[in-house]
Amino acid sequence: MAERILQIERLETLFSKDKKKIQILNQVSFDIRQGEIVGLVGESGCGKSLTSLSIMRLFHGTSGAIGGGSIRFKDRDITRCPESEMRKIRGKQIAMIFQEPMTSLNPSMKIGEQLMEPIRLHLGLKEAQAKAHAISMLNKVGIPRADEIIHEYPHQLSGGMRQRVMIAIAMSCRPELLIADEPTTALDVTIQAQILHLMKTLQREEGMSMLLITHDLGVVAEMCDRVVVMYAGRVVEEAPVHELFEEPKHPYTRGLIASVPKLGQKKERLDSIRGRVPDPAHMPPGCKFAPRCEHAKDVCSELEPDMTVFEGGRSCSCWLYADVKEAGGHERYAGRGQAVEEII
Q: Where are the domains of the chain?
A: 1-93+182-261, 104-174, 284-344
Q: Which CATH superfamily is domain 1-93+182-261 in?
A: P-loop containing nucleotide triphosphate hydrolases (3.40.50.300)
Q: For residue 220, what pLDDT band results from cuts at 50, 70 and 90?
A: very high
Closest by CA position to 205, among listed 140, 253, 116, 294: 140
For the ranges 17-31, 285-299, 324-338, which has the lowest average pLDDT? Answer: 324-338
Q: Could you read off the pLDDT of 114-151 as tens digits, one per residue? A: 999 999 999 999 999 999 999 999 999 999 999 999 99
Q: Are 219 and 182 in contact (CB under 8 A)?
A: no
pLDDT of residue 267: 65
Query: Is pLDDT above 80 for 330?
Result: no
Rounded Cα distance between 51 and 24, Å, is 10
Rounded Cα distance between 244 and 261, Å, is 17
Residue type, 156: Q
Burial (0-12, 13-18, 19+ Cβ within 10 Å), 139: middle
Rounded Cα distance between 88 and 174, Å, is 13
Q: Could you give the percent of the chain with pLDDT greater than 70?
A: 91
Helices then strands, each counted (H, E), the chain: 12, 12
β-pair partners for 318: none
What stretch of H or E contains 165?
helix 159-171
Q: Are 159 and 187 in contact (CB under 8 A)?
A: yes
Q: What does the angle CA 13 – CA 18 – CA 19 come to, to the nearest 5 degrees?
A: 70
Average pLDDT, the chain: 88
pLDDT of residue 98: 84
Question: Long-range contacts for 123-130 (Cβ within 8 Å, ≥24 apart)?
Answer: 123/173
Query: How large is the greatest C-alpha to C-alpha distance in the chain, in angstroms?
Result: 74
Query: Is pLDDT above 70 for 185?
Result: yes
DSSP SS3 for 54: helix
Sign of CA dihedral 9, 290, 52, 24: negative
Question: For residues 110 and 338, which has the higher predicted lDDT (pLDDT)?
Answer: 110
pTM of the model: 0.89
Question: For residues 62 and 250, which has the higher predicted lDDT (pLDDT)?
Answer: 250
Closest by CA position to 123, among listed 333, 28, 115: 115
Phi (first) and psi of residue 43, to 5 degrees: -70, 165
DSSP SS3 for 144: coil
Beta strands in the chain (DSSP E): 4-17, 20-33, 37-41, 65-73, 76-77, 94-97, 177-181, 209-214, 226-231, 234-240, 308-309, 315-316
pLDDT of residue 336: 45
DSSP SS3 for 342: helix
Phi (first) and psi of residue 82, to 5 degrees: -65, 155
Q: Are 166 and 101 in contact (CB under 8 A)?
A: yes
